[in-house]
């Protein structure tokens, strides 16, 4: 069994945390309504193959499949040396009152079958708007200073190694940093079709010494050759502002979206991929990994074959002129979607503002 790492590694901002340029997104692990069934045997094989090839960072969350993702990842990690893997998971913002932070961290530790979590992140900002997405029964908003103090206490106790945030805008990140608690990363959406973070939060994270994890590198299959038309995507994956929200009942943004610009961008990207002899997903992942200021890009895989394609893409750099060409080809979509990187809500209801 090969143990040779094939992926470059990057420092995570100012934190003493090094991550491979490609991390494994584990949302589909455990199966569920959103992604459908997922074989545990496939998860076991994916995780072991990933570790053997240097893709040893695994990103999950307590909210993914009602905890089943954490349980599935924990089962797959059994028997692997703990110091060979980096486990990241996320706590929902409605669970960030101090007592809840402790209880939910302990629950994640049990599901993951580990004594510590390498990177523990707050999944969305601690605001009433974000919390309503996770629980409409919540009646109060936890204190940000108290939440991060509780997280820091877990860090000092050795339950977690590093603290992070996810989907935090500039104001929200600065509020978290003002507590004095070290923030290792901000996990943000980043792909050729989701470039809004380039405008403000990505350079701001770089300036503040905060690493950036990019997620949705393939925009849940849009940047692949599996779905030839946007309308072919399963309805749950047509909820972002790339699609007309008025024709998708599951959508929350309610705007006309940017379908024409998205379709044009995807076709242009596919043209470049064909010219270079790559699949669309390989090219898109190469571009995401090349992002200036990005520490690591997350990408899921349903089987080892898909993981192998992702590993090849991430291990081989994309020429700078192609990086620039692809940015130009998606500039019109970037302009159409605007500066908000909460792609599931309208700009008026942006949870990251």
pLDDT digits (tens, 9 = 90+) for 308-326: 999 999 999 999 999 999 9
Least confident of 1-5, 152-156, 207-211, 307-311: 1-5
Q: What are the distances in angstroms from CA 3 to CA 41, 231, 258, 268?
A: 20, 41, 44, 38
Report residue 236: phi and psi, to 5°. Answer: -60, -25
More reliable by pLDDT, 138 or 255: 255
Structural domains of the chain, ranges and CATH numbers in brackets: 11-183 (3.20.20.100)
The DSSP bridge pattern shows strands 18-20 and 9-11 to be antiparallel
**Distance between CA atoms of 192 and 243, rounded to whole angstroms?**
16
Write down the pLDDT at residue 285: 97
Digit-coded pLDDT (tens) for 185-229: 999 999 999 999 999 999 999 999 999 999 999 999 999 999 988
- Burial class (CB within 10 angstroms; exposed 0-12, middle 13-18, buried 19+) of 335: exposed
Write down the pLDDT at residue 33: 87
Q: What are the distances in angstroms from CA 352 to CA 36, 170, 215, 341?
A: 29, 8, 15, 7
Write down the pLDDT at residue 59: 98
State the helix-helix crossing angle for 40-52 and 68-77, rounded to 10 degrees: 60
Q: Under DSSP, is residue 29 helix (H, G, I), strand (E, B) or coil?
A: coil
Residue 340 pLDDT > 80, yes or no?
A: yes
Residue 138 pLDDT > 80, yes or no?
A: no
State the helix-helix crossing angle for 280-289 and 304-315, rounded to 10 degrees: 50
Least confident of 26-40, 42-56, 126-140, 312-326: 126-140
Q: Under DSSP, is residue 13 helix (H, G, I), strand (E, B) or coil?
A: coil
Residue 137 pLDDT > 90, yes or no?
A: no
Here the tokens at position 192 are 């050729």
Name the pTM for this structure: 0.95
**Distance between CA atoms of 115 and 30, rounded to whole angstroms?**
21
> Tokens 């993981």 identify what position?
307
Mean pLDDT, rounded, of the chain = 95
Query: Is the Cβ–Cβ distance between 32 and 66 less than 8 Å?
Result: yes
Least confident of 132-136, 141-145, 167-171: 132-136
Question: Which residues does residue 117 pair with via DSSP β-bridges, in sequence order?
Answer: 160
Sorted by sequence, the CB contacts under 8 Å of residue 111 that are 6+ apart come out as 62, 67, 70, 71, 74
**Distance between CA atoms of 15 and 295, rounded to whole angstroms?**
11
Closest-CA residue to 218 (of 242, 249, 199, 198): 242
Instruction: Please state the three-class secondary structure of 305-342 as a single string.
Output: HHHHHHHHHHHCCCCHHHHHHHHHHCHHHHHHHCCCCC
Query: Is the Cβ–Cβ distance between 105 and 135 less than 8 Å?
Result: no
Digit-coded pLDDT (tens) for 232-274: 999 889 999 999 998 888 899 999 999 999 999 999 999 999 9
Write down the pLDDT at residue 3: 38
Closest-CA residue to 161 (of 82, 84, 87, 61): 87
Rounded to a whole number of angstroms, the distance between the first and last alpha carbons of the chain is 47
Positive or negative, the Cα torsion across 161, 297, 262, 37? negative
């Amino acid at each position: 069994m090969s143990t040779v790492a094939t992926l470059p590694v990057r420092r995570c901002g100012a934190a003493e945390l090094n991550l491979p340029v490609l991390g494994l997104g584990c949302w589909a692990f455990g199966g569920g309504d959103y992604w459908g069934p997922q074989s545990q045997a496939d998860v076991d094989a994916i995780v072991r193959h990933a570790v053997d090839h240097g893709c040893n960072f695994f990103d999950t969350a307590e909210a993914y499949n009602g905890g089943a993702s954490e349980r599935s990842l924990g089962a797959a990690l059994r028997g692997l040396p703990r110091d060979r893997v980096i486990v990241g998971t996320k706590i929902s913002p409605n669970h960030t009152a101090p007592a809840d932070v402790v209880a939910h961290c302990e629950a994640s530790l049990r599901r993951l079958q580990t004594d510590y979590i390498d990177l523990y992140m707050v999944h969305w900002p601690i605001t009433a708007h974000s919390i309503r997405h996770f629980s409409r029964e919540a009646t109060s908003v936890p204190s940000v200073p108290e939440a991060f103090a509780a997280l820091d206490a877990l860090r000092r106790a050795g339950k977690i190694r590093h603290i992070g945030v996810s989907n935090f805008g500039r104001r929200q990140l600065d509020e978290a940093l003002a507590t004095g608690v070290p923030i290792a990363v901000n996990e943000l959406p980043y792909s050729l079709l989701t470039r809004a973070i380039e405008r403000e939060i990505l350079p701001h994270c770089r300036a503040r010494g905060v690493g950036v994890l990019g997620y949705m590198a393939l925009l849940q299959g849009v940047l692949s050759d599996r779905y030839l038309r946007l309308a072919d995507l399963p309805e749950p994956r047509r909820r972002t502002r790339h699609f007309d929200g008025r024709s998708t009942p599951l959508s929350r943004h309610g705007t006309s979206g940017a379908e024409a610009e998205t379709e044009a961008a995807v076709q242009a990207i596919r043209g470049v991929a064909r010219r270079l002899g790559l699949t669309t997903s390989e090219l898109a992942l190469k571009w995401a990994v090349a992002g200036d200021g990005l520490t690591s890009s997350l990408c899921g895989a349903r089987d080892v074959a898909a993981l192998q394609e992702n590993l090849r893409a991430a291990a081989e750099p994309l020429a700078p002129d192609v990086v620039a060409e692809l940015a130009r080809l998606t500039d019109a979509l970037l302009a159409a979607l605007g500066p908000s990187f909460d792609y599931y809500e309208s700009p008026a209801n942006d949870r990251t503002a």
